[in-house]
């Protein structure tokens, strides 16, 4: 299935007093990578997807990562992102972040497609992922 | 073993356009909770621990969480943090975050105690956790 | 006028590889302090204010700060926050952050009270600040 | 003098429940832009500069910004960054961030070049900016 690859510069503000990435920043990076993967597949930014498909987002219900090698500010890491599986209203994402030749971080997330709850707009409720979105991942992608 | 409990206000800046906590912020919260747990046990802030025991930090090598119920800005969540196990130079942490009666987030981390690498101060190397630190967790803690 | 004072622990994740607060974090702290000041005056969290007064937030149109002394993780700083002036739909905020005896940061912001634009809900538009909210700042505040 | 221009995607995690950039994130963006400007001038990442010139960083002593138009996730903003003036151990930076045709944010910072204090390595002390670094800004820059 479609894999999106991007180079991400580790910035000063991503790092902690040990001089290495403060690990919650990797999960923020995962969010960026998922948006980019969907944009690669559908041609739409997350903002446009939210408007086009009338949903609220795809929050995580599970996330895990292994931090195998540190990265520091000034490093350019390569993040590879792909969907493991699409289900009715959730999907799995696989992330691999390389620092040079080394696998620095490997991450897995489960995300849920949600909209506003029909009975209470302050609440969220899972929605089916549009078939069109899933189909976009199996079509030949547009060039990066 | 010692469990530290703290109330944490979810802030506007912790939340995303869906109005709920942007999940990487929970991992930043875990870091705060671990510092607080060690301070409860040892009486030392992380800064003072780093000075007293001549190490650099305890970065995560593994982290995972389940997000079971959303939290929004203005919510006061209760975070319970405890050490699962201390090993020679690593330890496991267990986090449970309650929003009202509901378990909102459950997290597990493995952290490694590190110092500067003796051959290359730009690198990190695991170090044994001081026996005194481990012992502090089994003594009767000072009142919260 | 009402001043709110709170103690804020500087955390590991607030600090950069120089070991001091990464300064954008002070502006995030200002947001926390404004929410707390309004809650002190009105008795409502920001979430409840947004519901009660049907607005979207009070984004900054101007912000500035002087960083006079560094703070590092483990420091407990004292933040004092007060409103400089309320105007029809905007207000000025003054922040002073002390680290021990020293004034570490002084900040000034102008915030605008906004709602959804009546012609385009994707846009924001300034709204008059409710008289009740302004009045709450001149009443005797409830004890901290 | 040398101006560096870069396109920055506004991400979901940069935005708050109002759906627009949480303004402290612009100051984090300023840090990224300054690193990129120095790298453009000197050919060195911030990490390599810190090693090459034996200093600790260039923290802000003053920062201010006007937020003239909102930006939301999915927007690609254009940030222009230039040095206003170099002094012995400090420098001024000017930032302009455009969202489409509109100037969205204008910012000014004063940064100080610092090293470890000779009498107390836990403290920071200003240092002269290396002449070589300043000279790099007046040479013809390498192509972007």
Residue C142: pLDDT above 70? no
Task: Give the model's pLDDT for residue B116.
Answer: 94
Cα–Cα dist A75/D45, whole Å: 9
Give the mean pLDDT of A122-127. 93
- ipTM entry: 0.94
For B23, the closest of A23, A27, A67 (CB atoms) is A27
For residues D139 and A7, which has the higher predicted lDDT (pLDDT)?
Answer: A7
Test A64 with B68 for CB contact under 8 angstroms.
no
Identify the CA nearest to B14 among candidates B88, B109, B99. B99
A117-131, C2-16, D96-110: least confidently modelled range: A117-131
Nearest Cα of chain C lies from the Cα of B31 at a distance, in angstroms, of 7
Cα–Cα dist D3/A18, whole Å: 32
- Residues of C in Cβ contact (< 8 Å) with B48: 74
Test A47 with D72 for CB contact under 8 angstroms.
yes
Give the mean pLDDT of B20-47. 98
- Note the helical H segments in chain B: 24-42, 46-53, 131-136
Residue with tokens 């299935």: A1
Q: Which pLDDT band, with edges at 50, 70 and 90, does D23 fall under?
A: very high
Task: Give the model's pLDDT for residue D143.
Answer: 56
Residue with tokens 């979901």: D12
Percent of chain A's residues with pLDDT above 90: 92
Residue D108: pLDDT above 90? yes
Residue C139: pLDDT above 90? no
Cα–Cα dist A113/A92, whole Å: 11
Dump the DSSP string for C70-111: --BTT-EEEEEEEEEEE-SSEEEEEEEEEETTEEEEEEEEEE
Helix (H) or strand (E) holding D30: helix D24-42
State pLDDT tens for residues D35-88.
Answer: 999 999 999 999 999 999 999 999 999 999 999 999 999 999 999 999 999 999
Test D19 with B24 for CB contact under 8 angstroms.
no
Task: Give the model's pLDDT for residue D140.
Answer: 55
Percent of chain D's residues with pLDDT above 90: 92
Q: Burial level of A7, CB count in 10 A (0-12/13-18/19+)?
A: exposed
A83-87, B107-111, C71-75, D119-123: least confidently modelled range: D119-123
Task: Give the model's pLDDT for residue D139.
Answer: 74
> How many angstroms separate the Cα of A9 from the Cα of each of A14, A75, D44, D79?
10, 6, 13, 17
Cα–Cα dist A114/A89, whole Å: 8
Give the mean pLDDT of A68-83. 97
Does residue D13 sit in helix, strand or coil?
helix
């Amino acid at each position: 299935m479609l894999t999106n690859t991007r180079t991400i510069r580790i910035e000063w503000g991503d790092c902690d007093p040990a001089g290495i990435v403060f690990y919650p920043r990797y999960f923020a990076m995962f969010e960026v990578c998922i948006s980019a993967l969907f944009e690669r597949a559908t041609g739409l930014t997350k903002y446009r997807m939210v408007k086009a498909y009338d949903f609220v987002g795809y929050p995580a219900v599970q996330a895990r990562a292994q931090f195998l090698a540190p990265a520091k500010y000034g490093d350019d890491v390569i993040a590879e992102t792909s969907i493991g599986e699409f289900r009715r209203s959730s999907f799995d994402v696989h992330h691999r972040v390389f620092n040079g030749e080394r696998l620095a971080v490997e991450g897995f997330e489960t995300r849920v497609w949600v909209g506003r709850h029909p009975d209470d707009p302050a609440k969220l409720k899972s929605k089916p992922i549009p078939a069109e979105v899933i189909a976009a991942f199996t079509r030949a992608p547009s060039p990066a």
